[in-house]
Amino acid sequence: MENDMTAYEAAALIDISAVRTHNTLSDVEECVAYAKKYRFINVHSLPCFTKAVAGMLAGEDGIYVGAPVGFPSGGHSTGTKLLEARQLIEDGVEEMDVVMNVGKFKSGDDDYVLNELKEIIEKTPDSILTKVIIELNCLGDDEIERACEIVAASGADFLKTGTGWVPGGANIERIGKIKGILGSRLKVKAAGGIRTREEFDALLALGVERFGINTKSAVEIVESFE
């Protein structure tokens, strides 16, 4: 079922990024240019480029500076994640996507995972949005509810489904399950494997509030609304 939103309204739901190992400053600049042209809501880069992105987007209303913590594995020590978050805050981050410690979670150490997330989020100013990445493609169906409850208890603004680094599709059915578990308690950012307008519309119909989509696919989806 197609929706009747405008291209601008669609772009205002989509984060684009240059967060692959090989991405250069030039790639980041190109990403920012796309964001300004189409009015994508957020530009994510790897942490070393955060200060540069903040400079490029200074005074740009409605486009925010994004960066990850503990990316892409989530397996950094808590101290390292806290240092990284503090540096991102100093560099001008406005939305911070924190990778939960998936290995600790799958080992059953839920207290460790929750305490780490709480510590990072509590030290982040309220003006900065926080999203916790659960890496859905690494989780079994029996682990989804546990992950949702941890993120809901962490104080984050969003649960984000994936980094985009783990192979897998758009996960529409599984994201529907997440929305059912969380209800109105927490917003959801769907990310990883979303490539088509049909997938975008289906996830939007489930109530997904934000999307992480690779720039090429994001442009194609937004242009389909014009």
In angstroms, the CA 223 to CA 216 distance is 11
Question: Can 97 be counted among the known catalytic residues?
Answer: yes
In angstroms, the CA 83 to CA 23 distance is 23
On whether the CB atoms of residues 133 and 157 are closer than 8 A, the answer is no
In angstroms, the CA 28 to CA 50 distance is 10
Question: Can 160 be counted among the known catalytic residues?
Answer: yes
Question: Can 189 be counted among the known catalytic residues?
Answer: yes
Catalytic residue among 51, 81, 131, 160: 160
Catalytic residue among 81, 131, 187, 189: 189
Helix (H) / strand (E) containing 139: none
Structure tokens at 81: 């994640």
Catalytic residue among 97, 131, 179, 187: 97
On whether the CB atoms of residues 158 and 124 are closer than 8 A, the answer is no
Structure tokens at 4: 């009747």
Give the residue numbers marked as catalytic: 97, 160, 189
